[in-house]
Amino acid sequence: MGVSRFLNGFVSGTVCSAFAFIFYNRFTIDMTDEKYTFRKLHAKEAPRLRAVDSGTALKLRGSEILKYGIPDRGLDARLYENHVLCYDQAKKTPIWVAEHITKADLKGPANRRNCNFNIDPTLDPFFTSHVSDYKGSGWSRGHMAPAGDNKYSQDAMEETFYYTNIVPQDVNNNGGFWNRLEMYCRDLTDKFSEVRVISGPLMLPVQEEEGTKKFVKYEVIGNSSVAVPTHLFKVIAAESPQTPGSPVAVGAFIVPNKPIEGSAQLVEYEVKLEELEKSAGIYFLPQLPASKRVDLCSVDSCKLIPQETLELFFITRKLENAETLQRLESAWKDLDRRSLIPDDYMISIYKKKKESLMNK
């Protein structure tokens, strides 16, 4: 598979609390309603609450208890041009980030070189992470909604650089296995007209070497105490709605936040959706019944691009972006250092760039 295939793969935030889907699995209390209504929006899993008429003692008691307002953990969901997320104000990372990818999203002039990491303007600065938290921490800034899914719009791409979309991620994982997984999601648009992806961090327990107790342990970085996840997850739902009656191909994956061998394949990290939901405490696809789902890896290979192809992709990008002959030659020498063989497309890029720089 040629490198050129992957080169195509790579306003402001607003709130979407008006959307009903952000209230799944929750009760909300309308304190302004004359009847003090309890609205149950996901009845299947929620406990029963008894109805309360206006003027009852319970209504008055509720008002007394919450005299100074309902404790506020922030918005349930934040809507951007091409992704939606739920943010954890304590851990300073997203809880989940959802995307909808089509082939059209992957084509366009948007360039990540014009993007910078920024504080989300929709978030109270009191609860944000900062560039200083990551500096010198040994962790990279890992996108949950990748920039490469937004080639169609510079604004959409820039919004993926808000810290609300970022988690501390192992640098090798970020540029290696996780990147290959993101490319796989983009490649699915060749087979399915619509691909939906939900990604986020996990804090999973480990059992001590001695004894039976389990512990959840994770590092925090910077003055903001940004939580470093032990694992990352990704839920993929791929479909072609124009084919009536076809099931939605769903895959759930849990990936450790550490270096992963280049030979590793995606099926090694596949888990049942219910297992991930139990670990995360989230129903990821509450309006998609199991009867209308099919396992993604049973209808698709779930095969990631080879690590070698990914490395060639990165070197090609370095060649294209080289602004001096020294940087161009350094990128070209990476091939020898990694024992890689360039394809015709890559050789052409190198020759054209060298000629252009020599004529400056």
**Catalytic site positions:** 143
Please state, in angstroms and as integers, the Cα–Cα distance from residue 162 to each residue in 136, 143, 147, following that order: 20, 9, 11
DSSP per residue, 73-121: ---S-EE-SSEEEEEETTTTEEEEEEEEE-GGGG-SS--GGG---B--T
Number of neighbouring beta carbons within 10 Å of residue 33: 11
The letter for the amino acid at 191 is K
Beta bridge pairs of residue 226: 221
Question: What are 176's two structure tokens?
Answer: 């290696």
257 annotated as a binding-site residue? no
- Distance, in Å, from the CA atom of 319 to the CA atom of 343, rounded to the nearest integer, reads 13
CA–centroid distance for 144 within its chain: 2
Tokens 């009852």 locate to 56
Separation between Cα atoms, residue 86 and residue 95, nearest integer Å: 5
Q: Which residues are annotated as a binding site for Mg(2+)?
A: 174
